[in-house]
Structure 1
């Protein structure tokens, strides 16, 4: 892949999505002011919810509050409001992925009309009412992986295998839903917190590199020469994005729910990374080796379909072309992003006692070395 011609701006590390710049500034202020974080008690959550709904819906009754498992970023609680189930997502001080609750709220409210997703209903952006920045959305039933026999490790989405009949049902929906997401014209929607990179330029790619470069710079606990080499390569080979789309940012197995009896996908989850950018970014995320499953002598993307199968199905369903060189750039970028999340932010949050999932975040840390190894191999292939 040849270096981007005339890209004098590639070293401008301050050129960034304005919303992300504000998010990173808030994060720095929050981290500087924090003490050690303790998980919030379920009884305290119940009291906060009762006070919240005393204003929002005075005649409603909060009951059956319980902590939900999983997640390396948010504290999540299931509760009933007048017998209807809802999910509360609360921000700890630091997370594996620092993101914006308002953006997540907006994208869920808008895109749940177009793709299967929970609907966000209440938002406490500052945390002034629920103690921490928070969002409440409706509960959607489903599982993230087959329940029997147990498959894959405990962290959902890594090494997940599906029986052939279930895979045949899920794979087409998985691809078609992503195509639907990218097909929606975001310009016609109410998304005031989102900022679009200029079409026909390399700005979409540069914004992403600058985001992760800043995350690594702020959060790393140990220097890595790999990061410097990869950062330089990415900047020299920025691809052009002709037409920005809504990028999910974490589209993979483990982040969708399905009904096991029918094989129907019921919801796409974890929209916190959503932003406007290049459609290749979502494809480059799911095709990382971490989300591959080796099954029956074949490597399956997210345990569902072969890489070439995925690309052909996506092109057919979306009407968009997949440029292999651009896809490769985003595969390298996403490995860089994953290295920053695991080896920098997760390790720092665990070290500083700033998250309720310190054991899981510590477990994620060594995965960063796997991404570093893969980055070295991919760059060697690029020459």
Structure 2
């Protein structure tokens, strides 16, 4: 679980402690305060009170337009997942009736592989191989959750039909940013047309994470087990196979950077054994994931061209977009 750099002195722990008292949580002074660092725009802080460790998650001090609503969604999701087999942080208490919205959860005993591998994972390719399969198994478990646990959550009707128009519209909106030269993305039109022609006729709605990749997973320190899936703000009721496509779209190819990982076909085979969903169009979901994620990342490049984001970050993400569309072409034309 990660968060941007923050100054913990900006959090009013006296006010937080008073609220915790109303929730019947252990009292006493707040100690051992430390930010949980990384890449998400939400704030996360670890602290101890009354001998109990907590993670506080709240919007940034300058929240985005939908920061508070996103955290309300996360709270609903974590509540719904509490009694399932899905590895997720355990929600302790939440304040959702005011702003800023925030919640407390138990710390996860684990590590994020995006920040590096500890031992024994670093030196044991068998553990790394199993990590990939465990990530797939955790995703399949999420796909089995009854979406009725979250009534009124998401808009599954027409979910697949909306995808290409929705994201082509998003891409077109970047044209309003001064300095953006337009989407110079080889394969863009071909990918969009292919997705429309090959769209599955139907799907079974289910709970999906919305941003399922290894950067949003924490693994147990003593083995390959997924300790928790984190960052649930994109969660919705849609087609869970898009989560699997997202994992495939972001998966290191040919063991690059992390030798020993299972390849894409092993991931698909593992998921297939654990689901009764129709897997015949799984390449379509992987291509859609490349298409959608590539357009999302192109947005940062467009903002960088307009001077609203760092140029080096924009250039890096634009290259990632090109790589994603190149990967999509390989699925389209094997």
| Fold similarity call, TM over 0.5 | yes
> Are 1:375 and 2:325 counterparts?
yes
Q: Which residue of 2 aligns with 1:344?
A: 299
TM-superposed CA distance for 1:283, in Å, is 1.4
Deviations 1:17-46 (A, max 9, x none): xxxxxxxxxxxxxxxxxxxxx975312214
Check conservation: 1:340, 1:368, Cα contact below 8 A: no
In 1, distance between residues paired with 2:259 and 2:106?
A: 26
> Are 1:103 and 2:73 counterparts?
yes
Q: Which residue of 2 aligns with 1:17?
A: none
In 2, distance between residues paired with 1:301 and 1:281?
A: 24
Check conservation: 1:162, 1:304, Cα contact below 8 A: no
> Are 1:123 and 2:94 counterparts?
yes
In 1, distance between residues paired with 2:5 and 2:267?
A: 40
In 2, distance between residues paired with 1:111 and 1:345?
A: 32
Q: 1:41 to 1:219 in 2, by over 3 A?
A: farther
Check conservation: 2:89, 2:107, Cα contact below 8 A: yes
| Farther-moved stretch of structure 1 (228-237 vs 251-260) | 228-237
In 2, distance between residues paired with 1:99 and 1:365?
A: 31
Q: 1:345 to 1:263 in 2, by over 3 A?
A: same
Check conservation: 2:26, 2:49, Cα contact below 8 A: no
TM-superposed CA distance for 1:72, in Å, is 2.9
Could you tell me which of 232, 243, 262 is aligned with 1:282? 243
Could you tell me which of 277, 282, 287 is aligned with 1:332? 287
Q: 1:138 to 1:219 in 2, by over 3 A?
A: farther
Q: 1:380 to 1:90 in 2, by over 3 A?
A: same
SS at match of 1:140: coil
Q: After TM superposition, list the pairs within 5 Å mapping 1:191-230 onto structure 2.
A: 191-198=150-157, 203-213=158-168, 215-218=170-173, 221=177, 222=180, 223-224=182-183, 226=185, 229=189, 230=191
Check conservation: 2:59, 2:102, Cα contact below 8 A: yes
Q: Which has the higher contact order (CA 8 A, sep 6+)?
A: 1
Q: Which runs of 5+ in 2 are unaligned?
A: none
Q: Which residue of 2 aligns with 1:32?
A: none
Q: Which residue of 1 aligns with 2:222?
A: 261
Check conservation: 2:208, 2:235, Cα contact below 8 A: yes
In 2, distance between residues paired with 1:303 and 1:144?
A: 17
Q: After TM superposition, list the pairs within 5 Å mapping 1:1-383 onto structure 2.
A: 41-47=7-13, 48-57=15-24, 60-61=27-28, 62-92=30-60, 93-94=63-64, 100-114=70-84, 115-125=86-96, 128=99, 132-145=100-113, 147-148=117-118, 163-187=124-148, 189=149, 191-198=150-157, 203-213=158-168, 215-218=170-173, 221=177, 222=180, 223-224=182-183, 226=185, 229=189, 230-231=191-192, 233-288=194-249, 290-295=250-255, 304-323=261-280, 326-345=281-300, 348=303, 363=313, 366-375=316-325, 378-379=328-329, 382=332
TM-superposed CA distance for 1:315, in Å, is 0.9
Provide TM-score, normalisation by structure 2.
0.77
Check conservation: 1:167, 1:304, Cα contact below 8 A: yes
In 1, distance between residues paired with 2:169 and 2:19?
A: 35
Q: 1:293 to 1:236 in 2, by over 3 A?
A: closer
Q: Which runs of 5+ in 1 are unaligned?
A: 1-37, 152-160
Check conservation: 1:293, 1:300, Cα contact below 8 A: no
TM-superposed CA distance for 1:284, in Å, is 0.9
In 2, distance between residues paired with 1:218 and 1:370?
A: 20
Check conservation: 2:126, 2:260, Cα contact below 8 A: no
Check conservation: 1:94, 1:349, Cα contact below 8 A: no
In 2, distance between residues paired with 1:171 and 1:381?
A: 21
Q: 1:173 to 1:381 in 2, by over 3 A?
A: closer
Supply the RMSD in Å over aligned alpha carbons: 3.8
